[in-house]
Amino acid sequence: MDQEASRQKQYPEDYQYREDEINLIDYLRVLWKWKVFIVLMVVICAGAAIGITMVKYSTKYATECIISLNFPGIEKHRNPDNTLFDKNQIVTPAILSRAAASLQKEEVVSLRGMIAIKAIMPPEVQEEIKKAEKRKESYAFFPNQFSLTLSTEQKDIFSEEENSRILLSIVDEYRTEFERKYGEKPLVAISFPDDFLAKYDYGEVVDTFKTKIDTFIKFLDSKVKKAGFFRSQKTELSFIDIKSDAESLRNIELSKTEAIIGTLKLTKNKEDLINQYKYNIRKIEIRKRKKEKEASVAHRLLKEMRQTGRYELSKGASSEKGTSLVLDSSFIENLIKNDYFSSLLKTALKAEVEAKNLEVDKESLEKKIVILKEKKDGKEKENIACIQKSLKAIQDKIRLLSQRANELNMEYLKRSVDGAVQIIKDPETFETRSGNLKKTALLAAVVGLFFAIFLAFFVEYIRNASKAARKGD
């Protein structure tokens, strides 16, 4: 013993290693001794977790398909009309009702509560979102792929074929509604009654043409803003080309015709036009008198403001009443500071200018009346025939341009909605649970393993301690 003790003191590391080896072997012996108990405990815990999960979370039978939306605006989470996009518009009650009707069953089945829609985020986007969260930053992503799922708790409610048909019907109904809403928008409507040119006078026809063309150009501006340089594959026309033709029609042909009508004083009914001119003259005279009166009042006030002491009260006059109130030149200075004088001057000048302009308008109308009353030569009928022909040509061109714009718009809308709603993964049926069965069983098995090992070592420790106590006695 003394020799062994001396060797232990001389080589302590060897003895420490041997002691650790012996302890490890003892641990393995304990685990081997309790192996059946440990295995049973693991199996029992895993089985109990599986049983509880199966009872608490019943099996659901689900059919899933994946759709992709591809239309202008979806990258910003917007519909083609710039309204906010919502994934639930794919599964509205009306769409679900029509999809359920496609089953052709006697009972009307309500799909609400069975249908779920979820946005799909690519793995790389999920990684970017996690990185942004770590940096405490926001990351904007607008998905265009969605998972459409039909889930039932009973397997015999629908067959797999019916599940697939329902999902495909939902997608078809949404596609139809989308194409109707965004691919069949009201078009620009430019129409004229058959007796339009015969019923209205030349000036009224020109004013109507101006209004129609201006409205048409606004429509074309809105299409150019959306469609850009979109060009028809059939006619090679673009909205920019049609807009250019409409502007040329308004600024050149229509303006030229209007100038001829105004210069030659062409009309279908001279008496009516003369009476209209006389009525306008009376209105001008009334307005002119009002402006002259306005200028006169402004000049009178200006003259009064220039008079010295106009706004002063003498001390002698006021002393009789026992007051010493004086409105001196400071009152006038305050008026000038507030620009009253300048305002009156501007009012007077503006009223005089308008009165002079109204006098010019009156003289112009009087000259027109004189010209209309004069006897015309034989060229008048020729001029009228030429104007009527020109107006008819302008009317036909307006109709033709609107027709071309509508055809181009229909082609553009059709192309923009083609392929907007696509199925990128056909319906597949599978079983699922709300709780994850594999993860729950694995977690329960690990807990059971550690608990069984702890219990085995604890029991062995109690037994060894009891044996040591008995030997000590």
**Residue 427 domain flag:** no
Query: Which ranges of 184-269 would DSSP assign to H, the alpha helix?
Result: 196-199, 202-227, 239-248, 255-264
Q: Which two tokens stand for residue 460?
A: 């062995």
Average of pLDDT values for 109-131?
86
Taking the whole predicted model, whether its pTM rises above 0.85 is answered as: no
**Residue 174 domain flag:** yes
Enclosing domain of residue 150: 60-184
**Residue 312 domain flag:** yes
Q: How high is the pLDDT of residue 251?
A: 94
CA 201 to chain centre: 45
CA 71 vs CA 82, 183, 343, 417: distances in Å: 11, 11, 59, 7
Q: Are residues 390 and 256 in the same domain?
A: yes
Q: Is 444 exposed, middle or buried (0-12, 13-18, 19+ CB in 10 A)?
A: buried
What is the DSSP secondary-structure string of 254-319?
IHHHHHHHHHHT--S-HHHHHHHHHHHHHHHHHHHHHHHHHHHHHHHHHHHHHSTTTT---HHHHH
136-163: pLDDT as tens digits: 888 888 899 999 999 887 777 788 888 8
Q: Cβ neighbours of residue 197 under 8 Å, at least 6 residues apart?
A: 205, 388, 391, 392, 395
Place of tokens 């042909």: 253
Q: Are residues 32 and 74 in the same domain?
A: no
Q: Are residues 294 and 215 in the same domain?
A: yes
Q: Indicate the pLDDT class of residue 324, thresholds 50, 70 and 90.
A: very low
In the chain, % of residues over pLDDT 70: 81
Q: How high is the pLDDT of residue 84?
A: 92
Q: Which of 78-87, 327-336, 357-366 has the lowest mean pLDDT?
A: 327-336
pLDDT at 313 over 50: no
The dihedrals phi and psi of 121, each to the nearest 5 degrees, come to -110, 125
Q: Is 23 exposed, middle or buried (0-12, 13-18, 19+ CB in 10 A)?
A: exposed
**Residue 107 domain flag:** yes
Q: Are residues 125 and 204 in the same domain?
A: no
Place of tokens 């080896």: 21
Specify whether the CB–CB gap between 183 and 414 falls below 8 A: yes
**Residue 426 domain flag:** no
Q: Are residues 169 and 243 in the same domain?
A: no
Q: Indicate the pLDDT class of residue 410, thresholds 50, 70 and 90.
A: confident
What angle in degrees, to the nearest 10, is found between the helix axes of 35-56 and 12-33? 50
Q: Are residues 249 and 376 in the same domain?
A: yes
pLDDT at 318 over 70: no
Q: How high is the pLDDT of residue 157?
A: 78
Q: How high is the pLDDT of residue 242?
A: 94
pLDDT at 208 over 90: yes
pLDDT at 336 over 60: no
Out of 158, 184, 210, a domain closes at 184
DSSP state of 436: -
Q: Which two tokens stand for residue 457?
A: 């070592």
Q: Chain-wide mean pLDDT for the chain?
A: 80
Instruction: Check residues 116 and 154 and name the one with the higher pLDDT.
Output: 116
pLDDT at 18 over 50: no
pLDDT at 315 over 90: no
**Residue 225 domain flag:** yes
Q: Indicate the pLDDT class of residue 206, thresholds 50, 70 and 90.
A: very high
**Residue 16 domain flag:** yes
Q: Are residues 95 and 11 in the same domain?
A: no
Specify whether the CB–CB gap between 178 and 421 falls below 8 A: yes
442-457: pLDDT as tens digits: 888 899 889 888 888 8
DSSP state of 251: I
Distance in angstroms (rounded) separating the CA atoms of residues 378 and 184:
53
Q: Are residues 336 and 316 in the same domain?
A: yes
Task: Tell me the helix, strand and coil percentages in the chain, rounded to 5.
Answer: 70, 10, 25
Average of pLDDT values for 179-207?
82
Domain count, the chain: 3
Q: How high is the pLDDT of residue 466?
A: 81
Distance in angstroms (rounded) separating the CA atoms of residues 404 and 220:
11
Specify whether the CB–CB gap between 348 and 298 falls below 8 A: yes
Beta bridge partners of 148: 65, 117
Q: Are residues 243 and 355 in the same domain?
A: yes
Q: Cβ neighbours of residue 397 under 8 Å, at least 6 residues apart?
A: 245, 249, 253
Out of 156, 184, 212, a domain closes at 184
Q: Indicate the pLDDT class of residue 438, thresholds 50, 70 and 90.
A: confident
The dihedrals phi and psi of 424, each to the nearest 5 degrees, come to -105, -10
Q: Indicate the pLDDT class of residue 250, thresholds 50, 70 and 90.
A: very high
**Residue 258 domain flag:** yes
The dihedrals phi and psi of 310, each to the nearest 5 degrees, come to -60, -35
Specify whether the CB–CB gap between 369 and 274 falls below 8 A: yes
pLDDT at 237 over 60: yes
Q: How high is the pLDDT of residue 113?
A: 81
pLDDT at 107 over 70: no
Beta bridge partners of 151: 62
Distance in angstroms (rounded) separating the CA atoms of residues 174 and 65:
14
Q: Are residues 25 and 75 in the same domain?
A: no
Q: Are residues 451 and 327 in the same domain?
A: no
Q: Is 458 exposed, middle or buried (0-12, 13-18, 19+ CB in 10 A)?
A: exposed
Instruction: Check residues 327 and 291 and name the one with the higher pLDDT.
Output: 291
Q: How high is the pLDDT of residue 104?
A: 66
User: Residue 140: left (phi > 0), alpha (psi -120 to 50), or beta?
Assistant: beta
Distance in angstroms (rounded) separating the CA atoms of residues 316 and 311:
15
Out of 159, 184, 209, a domain closes at 184
Give the strand pairing for 60-69 and 421-432: antiparallel
Q: Are residues 268 and 393 in the same domain?
A: yes
